Amino acid sequence: MINVQNLLFTYSGNAEPTLQGLDFTIAKGEIFGFLGPSGAGKSTTIKILIGILKNYQGQVTVLNRELRRINADYYESIGVAFEFPNLYSKFTALENLRFFSKLYKGPTTNPLDLLTMVGLETDQNTRIAEFSKGMKMRLNFCRSLLNNPDLLFLDEPTSGQDPVNLRKIKDIILEQKSKGTTVCITTHDMHVADSLCDRVAFIVDGKIALVDSPRALKLQHGSRMVRVEYRDKGSLKNKDYSLDSLATNQDFQNLLSSFPVETIHTQEATLEDIFIKTTGRKLQ
């Protein structure tokens, strides 16, 4: 779907390249996450992939076409939602979506269905000027889905959403995946990356530090231990056991039978830990 080789990019006026040779491939139907602190090159990468920044070096093939040779028809088959969205503030949600849907040649999704999916159906006739930031972001998310894209680019799709709407957006992204849509996400929210992405790439200082699936990373970087929290005469205590011989571990069995157990957790690493460990940086 997307094949990037040795991608270099320098903004005019900058001495240092913002992207210093990226390599990655994204398969069809995959949800791929770009993780990294702001300024690391996430947005620049996305801007290149959506064909806005053209004078890059290296090979970028998207939908079997070299990106330098694409024209505006490329946008028939992709959907993009930016982090700071805005639509025409004096138009209603529905008017905005209708206008944008008429810019596409191919079949488009009914704007009302999209609004219903993100819980904005009761606000369809409200002007955007009266929308909250979260509502605007959800509307903008709808806009990116209008043309049934083969490829979806989402920049921080979940920031500023309450848990209910966060759930809705995640579900829609997963539903898109099940329809065969390829999704590229940038985020600095590790939980979102963990629960959505098939694979994640850590980007720091214009380089990819690591690419793998969240599950593989967590297992690989974690310790194979389980931690038991229990009550001993009113005070909270904990004890760690190796996962490997847990079934025959007598000490573990004794603890379970003699104390009230409160929690049991395996000690795989969080994405946040791995990020800090591999890049030496914090995410925020």
Partner 1 sequence: MRLLNAIHIDITFQFRHGFYYVYLFISVLYLLILFNLQQGIRETITLLLLFIDTTMLGFFFIGAIVLLEKGQNILQSLFVTPLRLSEYIIAKVISLSILAMASALIIVTPIHLSIINFPVLLFGLWLSVIFFTLFGLIIAARSQNVNDYFAKALGLGLVASLPLAQYLHIFSTPLFYVLPTRATLILLEAAVKPTGLLHIIYAFICLLVWNSLAAFLAYRYFYRHVLVGTGAL
Partner 2 sequence: MKKIMALALADIKNITRDSTLILVLFGTVVLYIMVWFLIPLLSALLLDKLVFNLADYYLLIICFFSLIPPLLFGMITGFIILEERDEEIITFIAVTPVRKTGYLAYKLSISMAAAITSFYVLAYTNSLAHIPLLYSFFPAIMIAMETPITALLIASFAENKVEGMAFGKLAGIMFLAPFIYYFVPSHWKYLAGILPPFWVTGTFFTAGSNISLYWLYTVIGLLIHGLVLAVLLKIFINSQR
129 binds partner 2 (CB under 8 A): yes
CA distance 70 to 51: 8
Beta-bridge mates of residue 9: 19
233 binds partner 1 (CB under 8 A): no
- Give the residue, chosen from 5, 57, 86, 89, that forms a contact with partner 2 under the rule CB under 8 A: 89
Torsional sign, CA 129, 131, 133, 138: negative
Nearest to 122 by CA among 102, 160, 92: 92
Pairing of strands 182-187, 31-35: parallel
47 binds partner 1 (CB under 8 A): yes
Torsional sign, CA 85, 143, 113, 77: negative
What does 135 bind: partner 2, partner 1, none (CB cut-off 5 to 8 Å by kind)? none
**Near partner 1 in 140-159, by CB under 8 A:** 140, 143, 147
For 200, which DSSP code?
E
What does 183 bind: partner 1, partner 2, none (CB cut-off 5 to 8 Å by kind)? none
273 Cβ neighbours under 8 A, 6+ residues apart: 221
53 binds partner 1 (CB under 8 A): yes
244 binds partner 1 (CB under 8 A): no
103 binds partner 1 (CB under 8 A): yes
Tokens 């957790």, residue?
265
Stretch that binds partner 1, among 67-75, 164-172, 223-231, 246-254 (CB under 8 A): 67-75
In the complex, the residues that contact partner 2 under the rule CB under 8 A are: 89-90, 129
In the complex, the residues that contact partner 1 under the rule CB under 8 A are: 43, 47, 50, 52-54, 72-73, 75-76, 78, 80, 82, 84-91, 99-100, 102-105, 140, 143, 147
